[in-house]
Amino acid sequence: MNMLEANMRKVSDSLNSTVRLAAEFGDESLKDLKLYTSLVEKLCEIDSKMNTHRKALAESYTEQTVECFDQ
């Protein structure tokens, strides 16, 4: 696991804890899940991009030149 993955996991755990605490102790505005849904969407986008970049990087290791990689 790399540093970004570890940090993503920590952020996800923190967000889950925040949602639980907001549901239990927060006022009505903090209990609105829309606040947290947009953050989760951004995390998913980052994770998806990270996986795409990781795959491209792995593929690039097998090619000897940029021209071969682009084909």
Number of domains present in the structure of the chain: 1
What average pLDDT score do residues 12-26 get? 92
Q: Could you tell me if 43 and 11 are in contact, meaning their C-beta atoms sit under 8 angstroms apart?
A: yes
Q: Establish if 48 belongs to a structural domain.
A: yes
11-20 — which CB contacts under 8 Å span 24+ positions? 11/43, 12/43, 15/39, 15/40, 15/43
Q: What is the pLDDT of residue 63?
A: 74
- Summarize pLDDT for 33-53 with one digit per residue, the tens: 888 999 999 999 998 998 899
Domain contains 39: yes
Tokens of 20: 């639980």
User: What confidence score (pLDDT) does residue 69 get?
Assistant: 60
What is the span of the domain harbouring residue 46? 31-60
Considering the entire predicted model, what is its pTM?
A: 0.66
State the Cα–Cα distance between residues 51 and 41, nearest whole angstrom.
15
Q: For the chain, what percent of residues have pLDDT higher than 70?
A: 90
Q: Would you state the pLDDT for residue 62?
A: 82
